[in-house]
Structure 1
Amino acid sequence: MYAPLAHEHHPYQHVDHPADAAAAAVDLVKVYGKGETQVRALDGVSVTFARARFTAIMGPSGSGKSTLMHCLAGLDRPTAGQALLAGTDLAGRSERELTRIRREQIGFVFQAFNLLPQLTAERNITLPLDLAGRRPDPELLRYLVTALGLAERLGHRPAELSGGQQQRVAIARALVSRPEVVFADEPTGNLDSRSGAQVLSVLREAVRELGQTVVMVTHDPGAAAHADRVVLLADGRVAGAIDRPDVASVTDALRRLAAGR
Protein backbone atom coordinates (compact mmCIF):
# COMPACT_ATOMS: atom_id res chain seq x y z
CA MET A 1 0.00 0.00 0.00
CA TYR A 2 1.28 3.45 -0.86
CA ALA A 3 1.58 5.92 2.02
CA PRO A 4 -1.33 8.41 2.11
CA LEU A 5 -0.83 12.14 1.70
CA ALA A 6 0.19 14.02 4.82
CA HIS A 7 -3.02 16.09 4.86
CA GLU A 8 -5.40 13.11 5.09
CA HIS A 9 -8.51 13.94 7.15
CA HIS A 10 -11.34 11.90 8.63
CA PRO A 11 -13.62 11.07 5.68
CA TYR A 12 -16.65 12.88 7.11
CA GLN A 13 -14.95 15.95 8.59
CA HIS A 14 -16.60 19.23 7.61
CA VAL A 15 -14.56 22.37 6.94
CA ASP A 16 -15.61 25.50 8.79
CA HIS A 17 -13.33 27.99 7.05
CA PRO A 18 -12.76 28.18 3.27
CA ALA A 19 -9.02 28.76 3.74
CA ASP A 20 -8.71 25.32 5.37
CA ALA A 21 -10.46 23.52 2.51
CA ALA A 22 -8.89 21.85 -0.50
CA ALA A 23 -11.17 24.04 -2.63
CA ALA A 24 -13.89 26.56 -1.84
CA ALA A 25 -16.24 29.08 -3.40
CA VAL A 26 -17.11 32.26 -1.52
CA ASP A 27 -20.07 34.31 -2.83
CA LEU A 28 -19.13 33.10 -6.31
CA VAL A 29 -20.95 34.73 -9.23
CA LYS A 30 -20.57 33.92 -12.91
CA VAL A 31 -22.51 35.86 -15.53
CA TYR A 32 -22.44 35.10 -19.25
CA GLY A 33 -23.59 37.62 -21.85
CA LYS A 34 -25.12 41.06 -21.42
CA GLY A 35 -28.51 42.70 -21.46
CA GLU A 36 -31.47 40.52 -22.41
CA THR A 37 -29.20 37.57 -23.25
CA GLN A 38 -27.48 37.62 -19.84
CA VAL A 39 -27.30 34.28 -18.02
CA ARG A 40 -26.43 34.14 -14.31
CA ALA A 41 -24.84 30.69 -14.17
CA LEU A 42 -23.66 31.07 -10.56
CA ASP A 43 -25.59 33.33 -8.20
CA GLY A 44 -23.59 33.78 -5.00
CA VAL A 45 -22.39 30.22 -4.38
CA SER A 46 -20.52 29.54 -1.12
CA VAL A 47 -19.34 25.97 -0.49
CA THR A 48 -16.25 24.18 0.82
CA PHE A 49 -14.66 20.91 -0.30
CA ALA A 50 -12.74 19.19 2.47
CA ARG A 51 -9.35 17.59 1.95
CA ALA A 52 -9.20 13.83 1.46
CA ARG A 53 -12.90 13.58 0.64
CA PHE A 54 -14.84 12.55 -2.44
CA THR A 55 -17.55 15.12 -3.18
CA ALA A 56 -20.09 14.95 -5.99
CA ILE A 57 -21.79 18.05 -7.42
CA MET A 58 -25.29 17.42 -8.71
CA GLY A 59 -28.32 19.34 -9.92
CA PRO A 60 -30.68 19.79 -12.85
CA SER A 61 -29.39 20.76 -16.29
CA GLY A 62 -28.34 24.42 -16.20
CA SER A 63 -27.92 24.48 -12.42
CA GLY A 64 -24.29 25.61 -12.63
CA LYS A 65 -22.48 22.33 -11.88
CA SER A 66 -19.83 22.51 -14.59
CA THR A 67 -19.48 26.29 -14.25
CA LEU A 68 -18.69 25.92 -10.55
CA MET A 69 -16.10 23.22 -11.26
CA HIS A 70 -14.50 25.25 -14.06
CA CYS A 71 -14.18 28.31 -11.81
CA LEU A 72 -12.70 26.24 -8.94
CA ALA A 73 -10.22 24.63 -11.36
CA GLY A 74 -9.09 27.93 -12.87
CA LEU A 75 -10.58 27.07 -16.29
CA ASP A 76 -13.06 29.96 -16.13
CA ARG A 77 -12.93 33.29 -14.34
CA PRO A 78 -15.76 34.26 -11.98
CA THR A 79 -17.58 37.56 -12.43
CA ALA A 80 -17.42 38.19 -8.67
CA GLY A 81 -16.52 36.37 -5.47
CA GLN A 82 -13.64 34.03 -4.68
CA ALA A 83 -12.58 30.66 -6.09
CA LEU A 84 -10.07 29.23 -3.61
CA LEU A 85 -7.62 26.40 -4.16
CA ALA A 86 -5.84 25.43 -0.93
CA GLY A 87 -6.62 28.92 0.36
CA THR A 88 -5.30 30.73 -2.74
CA ASP A 89 -7.82 32.89 -4.61
CA LEU A 90 -7.63 32.08 -8.33
CA ALA A 91 -9.77 35.04 -9.40
CA GLY A 92 -6.94 37.58 -9.42
CA ARG A 93 -4.27 35.37 -10.96
CA SER A 94 -2.78 35.99 -14.38
CA GLU A 95 -3.22 33.44 -17.17
CA ARG A 96 0.40 32.42 -16.76
CA GLU A 97 -0.10 31.84 -13.03
CA LEU A 98 -3.31 29.90 -13.66
CA THR A 99 -1.52 27.68 -16.18
CA ARG A 100 1.16 26.89 -13.60
CA ILE A 101 -1.43 26.21 -10.88
CA ARG A 102 -3.42 23.89 -13.13
CA ARG A 103 -0.26 22.02 -14.11
CA GLU A 104 1.16 21.70 -10.59
CA GLN A 105 -1.83 21.59 -8.23
CA ILE A 106 -4.82 20.26 -10.15
CA GLY A 107 -5.63 16.93 -11.76
CA PHE A 108 -8.35 16.58 -14.40
CA VAL A 109 -10.50 13.64 -15.45
CA PHE A 110 -12.95 14.40 -18.25
CA GLN A 111 -15.68 12.44 -19.98
CA ALA A 112 -13.74 12.52 -23.27
CA PHE A 113 -10.51 11.04 -21.73
CA ASN A 114 -8.32 13.65 -23.53
CA LEU A 115 -5.42 11.29 -24.19
CA LEU A 116 -2.85 12.00 -26.91
CA PRO A 117 -3.28 9.26 -29.55
CA GLN A 118 0.38 9.15 -30.59
CA LEU A 119 1.66 8.48 -27.06
CA THR A 120 1.67 5.21 -25.14
CA ALA A 121 -0.39 4.83 -21.99
CA GLU A 122 2.72 5.34 -19.86
CA ARG A 123 3.70 8.53 -21.71
CA ASN A 124 0.14 9.84 -21.40
CA ILE A 125 0.25 9.21 -17.65
CA THR A 126 3.53 11.04 -17.13
CA LEU A 127 2.93 13.82 -19.69
CA PRO A 128 1.95 16.58 -17.19
CA LEU A 129 5.09 15.88 -15.16
CA ASP A 130 7.19 15.82 -18.32
CA LEU A 131 5.82 19.24 -19.32
CA ALA A 132 6.62 20.58 -15.85
CA GLY A 133 10.15 19.22 -15.98
CA ARG A 134 9.48 16.83 -13.09
CA ARG A 135 10.07 13.12 -12.74
CA PRO A 136 7.30 10.87 -11.45
CA ASP A 137 7.64 9.26 -8.06
CA PRO A 138 8.43 5.68 -9.18
CA GLU A 139 6.76 4.13 -6.13
CA LEU A 140 3.54 6.12 -6.68
CA LEU A 141 3.56 5.39 -10.42
CA ARG A 142 3.99 1.68 -9.76
CA TYR A 143 1.18 1.74 -7.19
CA LEU A 144 -1.20 3.54 -9.56
CA VAL A 145 -0.65 1.36 -12.62
CA THR A 146 -1.02 -1.77 -10.48
CA ALA A 147 -4.13 -0.55 -8.66
CA LEU A 148 -5.67 0.55 -11.96
CA GLY A 149 -4.88 -2.71 -13.74
CA LEU A 150 -2.68 -1.00 -16.33
CA ALA A 151 0.63 -2.77 -15.77
CA GLU A 152 0.21 -4.86 -18.93
CA ARG A 153 -1.07 -1.92 -21.00
CA LEU A 154 1.62 0.73 -20.52
CA GLY A 155 3.08 0.23 -24.01
CA HIS A 156 -0.32 0.46 -25.73
CA ARG A 157 -1.63 3.59 -27.44
CA PRO A 158 -5.17 4.85 -26.71
CA ALA A 159 -6.64 3.27 -29.86
CA GLU A 160 -5.52 -0.13 -28.53
CA LEU A 161 -7.32 0.36 -25.20
CA SER A 162 -10.96 0.00 -24.21
CA GLY A 163 -12.91 3.03 -23.03
CA GLY A 164 -12.60 1.94 -19.43
CA GLN A 165 -8.84 1.45 -19.80
CA GLN A 166 -8.46 4.88 -21.39
CA GLN A 167 -10.34 6.48 -18.51
CA ARG A 168 -8.13 4.64 -16.01
CA VAL A 169 -5.07 6.03 -17.83
CA ALA A 170 -6.61 9.49 -17.46
CA ILE A 171 -7.13 8.87 -13.73
CA ALA A 172 -3.50 7.76 -13.30
CA ARG A 173 -2.40 10.91 -15.15
CA ALA A 174 -4.52 13.03 -12.80
CA LEU A 175 -3.15 11.35 -9.65
CA VAL A 176 0.54 10.86 -10.45
CA SER A 177 1.47 14.45 -9.63
CA ARG A 178 -0.29 14.29 -6.22
CA PRO A 179 -2.41 17.39 -6.92
CA GLU A 180 -4.32 19.41 -4.35
CA VAL A 181 -7.60 18.41 -6.03
CA VAL A 182 -8.71 16.06 -8.79
CA PHE A 183 -11.66 17.52 -10.70
CA ALA A 184 -13.72 14.94 -12.58
CA ASP A 185 -16.38 16.13 -15.05
CA GLU A 186 -18.85 13.30 -15.84
CA PRO A 187 -15.98 10.76 -15.81
CA THR A 188 -18.29 7.80 -16.48
CA GLY A 189 -20.41 9.48 -19.16
CA ASN A 190 -18.82 7.61 -22.08
CA LEU A 191 -18.50 4.24 -20.33
CA ASP A 192 -20.69 1.16 -19.98
CA SER A 193 -21.97 0.38 -16.50
CA ARG A 194 -19.21 -2.11 -15.66
CA SER A 195 -16.37 0.19 -16.75
CA GLY A 196 -18.06 3.12 -15.03
CA ALA A 197 -18.26 1.22 -11.75
CA GLN A 198 -14.53 0.37 -12.00
CA VAL A 199 -13.62 4.02 -12.56
CA LEU A 200 -15.72 5.16 -9.59
CA SER A 201 -14.17 2.50 -7.37
CA VAL A 202 -10.71 3.73 -8.36
CA LEU A 203 -11.61 7.33 -7.49
CA ARG A 204 -13.04 6.11 -4.18
CA GLU A 205 -9.82 4.22 -3.42
CA ALA A 206 -7.69 7.25 -4.34
CA VAL A 207 -9.44 9.10 -1.53
CA ARG A 208 -9.23 6.23 0.94
CA GLU A 209 -5.72 4.97 0.19
CA LEU A 210 -3.90 8.09 -1.05
CA GLY A 211 -5.75 10.76 0.91
CA GLN A 212 -6.60 12.44 -2.40
CA THR A 213 -9.34 15.07 -2.76
CA VAL A 214 -11.83 14.41 -5.57
CA VAL A 215 -14.59 16.76 -6.76
CA MET A 216 -16.86 15.17 -9.37
CA VAL A 217 -19.68 16.64 -11.44
CA THR A 218 -22.26 14.02 -12.33
CA HIS A 219 -25.94 13.62 -13.19
CA ASP A 220 -25.98 9.93 -12.20
CA PRO A 221 -27.27 9.04 -8.69
CA GLY A 222 -25.38 5.74 -8.91
CA ALA A 223 -22.11 7.56 -9.49
CA ALA A 224 -22.85 10.09 -6.72
CA ALA A 225 -23.45 7.23 -4.28
CA HIS A 226 -19.70 6.49 -4.37
CA ALA A 227 -18.97 9.92 -2.86
CA ASP A 228 -18.66 10.91 0.80
CA ARG A 229 -20.90 13.92 0.22
CA VAL A 230 -23.16 15.34 -2.47
CA VAL A 231 -23.54 19.10 -2.97
CA LEU A 232 -26.78 20.04 -4.71
CA LEU A 233 -27.16 23.06 -6.99
CA ALA A 234 -30.27 24.63 -8.48
CA ASP A 235 -30.52 27.83 -10.50
CA GLY A 236 -26.89 28.72 -9.77
CA ARG A 237 -27.26 28.41 -6.00
CA VAL A 238 -26.47 25.78 -3.37
CA ALA A 239 -29.70 23.91 -2.69
CA GLY A 240 -28.47 21.47 -0.03
CA ALA A 241 -26.03 18.65 0.70
CA ILE A 242 -26.18 14.94 1.50
CA ASP A 243 -23.62 13.18 3.69
CA ARG A 244 -23.09 9.44 3.21
CA PRO A 245 -25.27 9.42 0.10
CA ASP A 246 -26.90 6.37 -1.42
CA VAL A 247 -28.86 6.02 -4.65
CA ALA A 248 -32.23 6.41 -2.90
CA SER A 249 -31.31 9.59 -1.00
CA VAL A 250 -29.77 11.22 -4.07
CA THR A 251 -32.68 10.27 -6.33
CA ASP A 252 -35.16 11.66 -3.81
CA ALA A 253 -33.22 14.93 -3.48
CA LEU A 254 -33.05 15.38 -7.25
CA ARG A 255 -36.78 14.66 -7.54
CA ARG A 256 -37.50 17.34 -4.95
CA LEU A 257 -35.28 19.84 -6.77
CA ALA A 258 -37.05 19.14 -10.05
CA ALA A 259 -40.38 19.71 -8.32
CA GLY A 260 -39.18 22.99 -6.84
CA ARG A 261 -39.39 21.80 -3.23
Structure 2
Amino acid sequence: MPRSRTLEPVVPQTIPPASVAVRATALRKVHGTGSTAVTALEHADLDVHRGTFTAVMGPSGSGKSTLVHCLAGLDEPTSGVVWVGGRQLTGLRDDELTRLRRDHVGFVFQAFNLLPVLDARANIELPSTMAGRRVDRAWFDDVVTRLGIADRLSHLPSQLSGGQQQRVAIARALLSRPDVVFADEPTGNLDSRSGAQVLSMLRASTREVQQTVIMVTHDPVAAAYADRVVLLADGRVAGELHEPTADSVLQALSRLGA
Protein backbone atom coordinates (compact mmCIF):
# COMPACT_ATOMS: atom_id res chain seq x y z
CA MET A 1 0.00 0.00 0.00
CA PRO A 2 1.22 3.56 -0.64
CA ARG A 3 2.78 5.26 2.34
CA SER A 4 0.91 8.05 4.06
CA ARG A 5 2.11 11.50 3.04
CA THR A 6 2.93 14.29 5.44
CA LEU A 7 4.39 16.74 2.95
CA GLU A 8 3.65 20.42 3.23
CA PRO A 9 1.97 21.96 0.17
CA VAL A 10 4.29 22.04 -2.84
CA VAL A 11 4.43 25.19 -4.91
CA PRO A 12 4.33 24.31 -8.64
CA GLN A 13 7.71 24.79 -10.29
CA THR A 14 8.86 25.41 -13.83
CA ILE A 15 10.44 22.35 -15.42
CA PRO A 16 14.24 22.77 -15.35
CA PRO A 17 16.01 23.34 -18.69
CA ALA A 18 17.49 20.32 -20.46
CA SER A 19 20.98 21.35 -19.33
CA VAL A 20 20.03 20.71 -15.68
CA ALA A 21 20.17 17.06 -14.58
CA VAL A 22 19.10 17.62 -10.96
CA ARG A 23 17.33 20.53 -9.32
CA ALA A 24 16.32 21.13 -5.69
CA THR A 25 14.18 24.13 -4.82
CA ALA A 26 13.48 25.33 -1.26
CA LEU A 27 14.27 21.87 0.07
CA ARG A 28 13.44 21.37 3.74
CA LYS A 29 13.74 18.20 5.79
CA VAL A 30 12.67 17.89 9.43
CA HIS A 31 13.16 14.72 11.46
CA GLY A 32 10.74 14.19 14.34
CA THR A 33 8.04 16.47 15.65
CA GLY A 34 7.45 18.96 18.42
CA SER A 35 10.25 19.59 20.90
CA THR A 36 12.32 16.70 19.49
CA ALA A 37 12.21 17.96 15.89
CA VAL A 38 15.58 18.34 14.16
CA THR A 39 15.92 20.34 10.95
CA ALA A 40 18.41 18.59 8.65
CA LEU A 41 17.80 20.83 5.61
CA GLU A 42 16.51 24.39 5.55
CA HIS A 43 15.64 26.04 2.23
CA ALA A 44 18.37 24.31 0.24
CA ASP A 45 18.52 25.27 -3.45
CA LEU A 46 20.76 23.47 -5.93
CA ASP A 47 21.14 22.98 -9.68
CA VAL A 48 23.48 20.30 -11.07
CA HIS A 49 24.19 20.51 -14.79
CA ARG A 50 24.43 17.51 -17.08
CA GLY A 51 27.82 16.01 -17.70
CA THR A 52 29.39 17.43 -14.53
CA PHE A 53 31.00 15.91 -11.44
CA THR A 54 29.80 17.54 -8.21
CA ALA A 55 31.09 16.76 -4.71
CA VAL A 56 28.94 17.58 -1.66
CA MET A 57 30.86 18.36 1.53
CA GLY A 58 30.33 19.91 4.93
CA PRO A 59 30.84 19.43 8.65
CA SER A 60 29.31 16.46 10.42
CA GLY A 61 25.57 17.11 10.75
CA SER A 62 25.53 19.71 7.98
CA GLY A 63 22.86 17.82 6.02
CA LYS A 64 24.96 16.57 3.10
CA SER A 65 23.78 12.96 3.29
CA THR A 66 20.18 14.07 3.79
CA LEU A 67 20.43 16.37 0.77
CA VAL A 68 21.77 13.64 -1.50
CA HIS A 69 19.23 11.10 -0.23
CA CYS A 70 16.43 13.55 -1.05
CA LEU A 71 17.91 14.27 -4.48
CA ALA A 72 18.16 10.54 -5.21
CA GLY A 73 14.62 9.76 -4.08
CA LEU A 74 15.82 7.65 -1.15
CA ASP A 75 14.21 10.03 1.33
CA GLU A 76 11.34 12.48 0.91
CA PRO A 77 11.64 16.13 1.91
CA THR A 78 9.25 17.77 4.31
CA SER A 79 8.72 20.47 1.71
CA GLY A 80 10.29 21.73 -1.48
CA VAL A 81 10.68 20.19 -4.91
CA VAL A 82 13.24 17.80 -6.44
CA TRP A 83 13.63 17.20 -10.18
CA VAL A 84 15.76 14.51 -11.81
CA GLY A 85 16.14 14.58 -15.58
CA GLY A 86 13.14 16.86 -16.02
CA ARG A 87 10.95 14.60 -13.87
CA GLN A 88 9.55 15.76 -10.56
CA LEU A 89 10.26 13.30 -7.73
CA THR A 90 8.32 15.12 -5.06
CA GLY A 91 4.83 13.73 -4.56
CA LEU A 92 5.30 10.50 -6.52
CA ARG A 93 3.71 7.29 -5.29
CA ASP A 94 6.04 4.55 -4.08
CA ASP A 95 5.71 2.53 -7.29
CA GLU A 96 6.32 5.60 -9.46
CA LEU A 97 9.35 6.56 -7.40
CA THR A 98 10.74 3.01 -7.64
CA ARG A 99 10.44 3.07 -11.44
CA LEU A 100 12.05 6.50 -11.67
CA ARG A 101 15.02 5.43 -9.53
CA ARG A 102 15.37 2.20 -11.50
CA ASP A 103 15.28 3.89 -14.91
CA HIS A 104 16.93 7.26 -14.30
CA VAL A 105 19.24 7.02 -11.27
CA GLY A 106 22.42 5.02 -10.60
CA PHE A 107 24.02 4.37 -7.22
CA VAL A 108 27.58 3.66 -6.10
CA PHE A 109 27.99 2.92 -2.39
CA GLN A 110 30.97 2.70 -0.07
CA ALA A 111 30.22 -0.98 0.64
CA PHE A 112 29.99 -1.96 -3.10
CA ASN A 113 26.67 -3.81 -2.51
CA LEU A 114 27.51 -6.70 -4.84
CA LEU A 115 25.76 -10.04 -4.47
CA PRO A 116 28.44 -12.57 -3.44
CA VAL A 117 26.87 -15.53 -5.30
CA LEU A 118 26.83 -13.72 -8.66
CA ASP A 119 29.83 -13.13 -10.86
CA ALA A 120 30.80 -9.64 -11.99
CA ARG A 121 28.79 -9.83 -15.23
CA ALA A 122 25.62 -10.90 -13.43
CA ASN A 123 26.08 -8.19 -10.79
CA ILE A 124 26.42 -5.53 -13.47
CA GLU A 125 23.35 -6.77 -15.33
CA LEU A 126 21.23 -7.39 -12.21
CA PRO A 127 19.16 -4.13 -12.28
CA SER A 128 18.39 -4.66 -15.98
CA THR A 129 17.49 -8.30 -15.35
CA MET A 130 15.15 -7.38 -12.50
CA ALA A 131 13.52 -4.67 -14.62
CA GLY A 132 13.09 -7.02 -17.58
CA ARG A 133 15.20 -4.77 -19.81
CA ARG A 134 17.41 -6.01 -22.63
CA VAL A 135 21.07 -5.20 -22.06
CA ASP A 136 22.70 -3.07 -24.76
CA ARG A 137 25.69 -5.33 -25.48
CA ALA A 138 27.70 -2.69 -27.33
CA TRP A 139 27.30 -0.27 -24.41
CA PHE A 140 28.05 -3.04 -21.87
CA ASP A 141 31.29 -3.89 -23.68
CA ASP A 142 32.24 -0.20 -23.89
CA VAL A 143 31.63 0.36 -20.15
CA VAL A 144 33.55 -2.67 -18.89
CA THR A 145 36.42 -1.95 -21.27
CA ARG A 146 36.67 1.66 -20.12
CA LEU A 147 36.64 0.48 -16.51
CA GLY A 148 39.31 -2.14 -17.12
CA ILE A 149 37.25 -5.13 -15.92
CA ALA A 150 36.48 -6.88 -19.21
CA ASP A 151 38.72 -9.78 -18.19
CA ARG A 152 37.16 -10.12 -14.71
CA LEU A 153 33.52 -10.65 -15.65
CA SER A 154 33.42 -14.36 -14.69
CA HIS A 155 34.88 -13.71 -11.23
CA LEU A 156 32.87 -13.63 -8.01
CA PRO A 157 33.21 -10.52 -5.81
CA SER A 158 35.38 -12.52 -3.37
CA GLN A 159 37.84 -13.06 -6.20
CA LEU A 160 38.15 -9.35 -6.95
CA SER A 161 40.14 -6.63 -5.20
CA GLY A 162 38.29 -3.76 -3.52
CA GLY A 163 39.06 -1.47 -6.42
CA GLN A 164 37.80 -4.02 -8.94
CA GLN A 165 34.59 -4.53 -6.95
CA GLN A 166 33.97 -0.80 -6.96
CA ARG A 167 34.54 -0.70 -10.72
CA VAL A 168 31.91 -3.43 -11.08
CA ALA A 169 29.55 -1.28 -8.99
CA ILE A 170 30.27 1.73 -11.23
CA ALA A 171 29.61 -0.38 -14.35
CA ARG A 172 26.29 -1.47 -12.83
CA ALA A 173 25.38 2.17 -12.18
CA LEU A 174 26.32 3.28 -15.71
CA LEU A 175 24.74 0.41 -17.65
CA SER A 176 21.24 1.91 -17.79
CA ARG A 177 22.61 5.31 -18.90
CA PRO A 178 20.94 7.06 -15.93
CA ASP A 179 20.34 10.79 -15.77
CA VAL A 180 22.57 10.93 -12.70
CA VAL A 181 24.84 8.65 -10.66
CA PHE A 182 24.93 9.24 -6.90
CA ALA A 183 28.12 8.10 -5.19
CA ASP A 184 28.15 7.89 -1.37
CA GLU A 185 31.75 7.86 -0.09
CA PRO A 186 32.74 5.59 -3.01
CA THR A 187 36.41 5.39 -1.94
CA GLY A 188 35.80 4.95 1.78
CA ASN A 189 36.77 1.25 1.75
CA LEU A 190 39.64 1.55 -0.73
CA ASP A 191 43.36 2.15 -0.41
CA SER A 192 44.66 5.42 -1.83
CA ARG A 193 45.78 3.92 -5.16
CA SER A 194 42.49 2.11 -5.81
CA GLY A 195 40.57 5.17 -4.63
CA ALA A 196 42.41 7.40 -7.09
CA GLN A 197 41.62 4.97 -9.93
CA VAL A 198 37.90 4.92 -9.06
CA LEU A 199 37.72 8.72 -8.82
CA SER A 200 39.53 9.07 -12.13
CA MET A 201 36.96 6.75 -13.71
CA LEU A 202 34.03 8.71 -12.28
CA ARG A 203 35.57 11.91 -13.64
CA ALA A 204 36.23 10.27 -17.00
CA SER A 205 32.58 9.20 -17.23
CA THR A 206 31.53 12.85 -17.13
CA ARG A 207 34.11 13.83 -19.77
CA GLU A 208 33.75 10.91 -22.16
CA VAL A 209 30.06 9.93 -22.00
CA GLN A 210 28.55 13.09 -20.44
CA GLN A 211 27.43 11.25 -17.30
CA THR A 212 26.32 13.39 -14.34
CA VAL A 213 27.87 12.38 -11.00
CA ILE A 214 27.01 13.68 -7.51
CA MET A 215 29.31 12.40 -4.77
CA VAL A 216 29.19 12.75 -1.00
CA THR A 217 32.66 12.74 0.51
CA HIS A 218 34.55 13.94 3.56
CA ASP A 219 37.92 13.68 1.79
CA PRO A 220 39.36 16.90 0.26
CA VAL A 221 41.59 14.84 -2.03
CA ALA A 222 38.55 12.98 -3.40
CA ALA A 223 36.64 16.24 -3.79
CA ALA A 224 39.47 17.68 -5.89
CA TYR A 225 38.54 15.25 -8.68
CA ALA A 226 35.18 17.01 -9.05
CA ASP A 227 34.37 19.98 -11.27
CA ARG A 228 32.57 21.66 -8.39
CA VAL A 229 32.27 21.30 -4.64
CA VAL A 230 29.00 22.28 -2.95
CA LEU A 231 29.48 23.18 0.71
CA LEU A 232 26.74 22.68 3.28
CA ALA A 233 26.43 24.13 6.77
CA ASP A 234 23.43 23.91 9.11
CA GLY A 235 21.26 22.43 6.40
CA ARG A 236 21.88 25.21 3.88
CA VAL A 237 24.10 25.59 0.84
CA ALA A 238 26.90 27.73 2.28
CA GLY A 239 29.03 28.14 -0.83
CA GLU A 240 30.72 26.32 -3.66
CA LEU A 241 34.12 25.91 -5.28
CA HIS A 242 34.81 25.49 -8.98
CA GLU A 243 37.87 23.59 -10.21
CA PRO A 244 38.70 22.68 -6.59
CA THR A 245 42.04 21.57 -5.25
CA ALA A 246 42.61 19.65 -2.02
CA ASP A 247 44.05 22.82 -0.46
CA SER A 248 41.16 25.06 -1.51
CA VAL A 249 38.67 22.50 -0.17
CA LEU A 250 40.52 22.30 3.15
CA GLN A 251 40.50 26.07 3.47
CA ALA A 252 36.78 26.27 2.68
CA LEU A 253 35.96 23.54 5.20
CA SER A 254 38.08 25.32 7.80
CA ARG A 255 36.03 28.47 7.32
CA LEU A 256 32.90 26.41 7.92
CA GLY A 257 34.35 24.98 11.11
CA ALA A 258 34.66 21.44 9.76
Amino acid at match of 1:69: V
Shift of 1:87: 2.5
Q: Which contiguous aligned blocks of 4+ residues in structure 1 show a shift greater than 2 angstroms?
A: none
CA distance in 2, matches of 1:53, 1:46: 17
Name the counterpart of 2:151.
Answer: 152
Q: TM-score, normalised by structure 1?
A: 0.91
Name the counterpart of 1:14.
Answer: none
Q: Tell me, what secondary structure is at the counterpart of 2:134?
A: coil
Amino acid at match of 2:123: N
Amino acid at match of 1:66: S
Shift of 1:31: 0.4
- Distance change in 2, residues 1:18/1:252 (3 Å): farther
Matched, 1:55 2:62: no
Percent identity reads 63
Matched, 1:34 2:33: yes
Matched, 1:176 2:175: yes
Q: Tell me, what secondary structure is at the counterpart of 2:27?
A: strand
Q: Tell me, what secondary structure is at the counterpart of 2:152?
A: coil
Shift of 1:159: 1.0
Amino acid at match of 2:171: A
**Are the aligned partners of 1:221 and 1:251 in contact in 2 as well (CA < 8 Å)?**
yes
Shift of 1:18: 6.8
> Of residues 16, 19, 30 in structure 2, which corresponds to 1:19?
16
CA distance in 2, matches of 1:175, 1:75: 18
**Are the aligned partners of 2:85 and 2:104 in contact in 1 as well (CA < 8 Å)?**
no
CA distance in 1, matches of 2:223, 2:89: 27
Matched, 1:207 2:206: yes
Question: Superposed, which structure 2 residues align to 1:88-107 within 5 Å?
Answer: 88-107=87-106
Matched, 1:255 2:257: no
Q: Tell me, what secondary structure is at the counterpart of 1:19?
A: coil
Q: TM-score, normalised by structure 2?
A: 0.92
CA distance in 2, matches of 1:124, 1:135: 15
**Are the aligned partners of 2:229 and 2:240 in contact in 1 as well (CA < 8 Å)?**
yes
Name the counterpart of 2:4.
Answer: none
CA distance in 1, matches of 2:255, 2:132: 49
**Are the aligned partners of 1:54 and 1:204 in contact in 2 as well (CA < 8 Å)?**
yes
Unaligned runs of 5+ in 2: 1-13
CA distance in 1, matches of 2:135, 2:242: 35
**Are the aligned partners of 1:60 and 1:258 in contact in 2 as well (CA < 8 Å)?**
yes
Question: Superposed, which structure 2 residues align to 1:76-115 within 5 Å?
Answer: 76-115=75-114
RMSD: 1.1
Amino acid at match of 2:95: R
Amino acid at match of 1:19: P
CA deviation string 1:16-51 (max 9, x = no partner) = x87121001100000001122211000110010000
CA distance in 2, matches of 1:180, 1:96: 19
Q: Tell me, what secondary structure is at the counterpart of 1:230?
A: strand
Shift of 1:83: 1.1
Unaligned runs of 5+ in 1: 1-16
CA distance in 2, matches of 1:154, 1:174: 16
CA distance in 1, matches of 2:246, 2:181: 23
